[in-house]
Structure 1
């Protein structure tokens, strides 16, 4: 079980998927789950400052997340919302939704269920988010907190948005990244923070393959790979 935490723009999602593919493990993007609930909240017209309303939305939302790293999916019921969750409005709103204690409680329960199922079916899981090692799976065999220089992170995020056809002006992206960091790290419940025993890995000057290699080395050093190469 590998827990990858850290802010946006550190390469977390791409690294987690590639590592899971390399290991033949399952993959879970917990941030996508909060974004899916945010889509449900925006569609419902809920007041994003009303915690009770957002808790009701989360309780009713049928969030379905695929754990295959080769074809991850995010659905609300039968509807694929994988593209919608990456939109500008969702990105600007997700921190408010994720800060609600009842929303976090609901999704952490679901995340743990998905992780347990993935461990049983695939034999290993790579899970990414902002509170995985500290809250969701504190007994993960390897906990890593990815970091990177803020300007590097903003440039990466802008490149991702541009590639996906979304507006991407680096100054505004940097402002959005800083805002998200501030909101996620200062929320009252389960703020973004590294687990006490997490390994800190700065990806500023590393490409994706170099980060994956570093993670594989950490797993090997800790004797956390079984005979099939899956994380224990």
Structure 2
């Protein structure tokens, strides 16, 4: 826990909101959160969408090698509500005094930090030296209401938005656009995740670049929206 405190020292902050971070990422064995996922791939200006559901179930509470509390989260996938869930992958989530950590594919990230402060930034991959130096930041306001998009919208009284800041080469506003964000709701946890990376140009046979500002030529977009939660 001291290591996390050291990594978070020096983070920029403004307005303090004294809400425990665990309220924004509750974890209890036997509970789950289910998401509607919209995945879209673009190739040569043609979009190919895929829709499915993803469930994250908390299956185990244990102590890691450092003696810190950790939770095993099993992700399962299905095409529609009439299909059976099929195990997909496993995450390890650790709620600590100053942060919520997640380990996926052997990479640890800092998903959320405490206390919630408008505009505060931190290094998402502070534990992973082989990963890019990605910075995550809270929006200019915290503890704000939010309603999820989609055919069955859900409203939450208090949420916080955390965005991954993108380097200019990935988000120049003309040829390339990229971004990622998560929205956490008090008492519920992650209610929306979105990431995208687009190219709005293509290269001709003469190696000339043709810009198409309103047409995505190559890219990927993924949106996860919470649709259900409860106990298994």
> Per chain length, whose mean CA-contact separation is higher, i.e. which structure has more relative contact order (CA < 8 Å, sep 6+)?
1
Q: Which structure shows the higher helix fraction?
A: 1
Normalised by the length of structure 1, the TM-score is 0.26
For the pair shown, the structure with the greater C-alpha radius of gyration is 2
